[in-house]
Chain A
Amino acid sequence: AQSVTQLGSHVSVSEGALVLLRCNYSSSVPPYLFWYVQYPNQGLQLLLKYTTGATLVKGINGFEAEFKKSETSFHLTKPSAHMSDAAEYFCAVSVGSSNTGKLIFGQGTTLQVKP
């Protein structure tokens, strides 16, 4: 069965530092992978997605993620953190056939950005 594990429920970085949020997945078929961001009292917003093709995916707000099949990982990075990046981040994998069906979400990682 497909599943997602996000390593670290809380990550704290200084403003301007590298952001690294870890995500590992389990899937018996080639996965579609997603990162969503959730700001307080708001719904989820898509940051980026991997479907097929290039394994390095660029998203909004300077974030990017790399699909590594050998490591079953899809870690999210940003070279320089900004105060506005403080939020909850969710990694997700699609279930079912590659491009249909439902999303399975990880537990989430809260990103804190210190001035």
Chain B
Amino acid sequence: EAGVAQSPRYKIIEKRQSVAFWCNPISGHATLYWYQQILGQGPKLLIQFQNNGVVDDSQLPKDRFSAERLKGVDSTLKIQPAKLEDSAVYLCASSPDLAVRNLFFGSGTQLSVL
């Protein structure tokens, strides 16, 4: 089966610019996650969707980050405006349901903010 697809693979922007990342989960997976992985740290959950509803966005910096999952399939994560500290790898993951035992990760988007 196809894995979690993410694009772009790399993105370089200047601070205060906007950027968007796209994720297409494994077909049929109801739960979708966005994680932020800063260099040298473990991934940190930004937002979790169940179908097209938000389950947890407590760690999402809502003044600059937004995410949506229209139609409960693919998802977009946006940063506007970007800051230097947003430089990180943004990982998308999906699972068949809310049980985290079955979590599948994409390869991530590496963002560099200059």
A interface residues with partner B (beta carbon < 8 Å): 4, 9, 32, 34, 36, 41-46, 49, 51, 90, 92, 94, 99-103, 105-108
Contact = CB atoms under 8 A, between A and B. Distances in A.
A103 B106 contact: no
Interface in B11-41: 33, 40-41
B103 A42 contact: no
A113 B4 CA distance: 29
A43 to B, nearest CB: 4
Contacts of A103: 43, 45, 100, 103
Nearest to A41: B107
B4, B40, B101 pick with most chain A CB within 10 angstroms: B101
Contacts of A49: 101
B104 to A, nearest CB: 8
Contacts of B100: 32, 34, 94, 99-103
Interface of B: 4, 33, 40-45, 48, 56, 91, 93, 98-101, 103, 105-108
A32 to B, nearest CB: 7
27 contacts: A9-B40, A32-B100, A36-B105, A42-B108, A43-B106, A43-B107, A44-B91, A44-B93, A49-B101, A51-B101, A90-B43, A92-B42, A94-B100, A99-B98, A99-B101, A100-B98, A101-B98, A102-B45, A103-B43, A103-B45, A105-B42, A105-B43, A105-B44, A107-B40, A107-B42, A108-B40, A108-B42
A44 B105 contact: yes
Contact of B41 (A42, A101, A107): A107
A90 B108 CA distance: 16
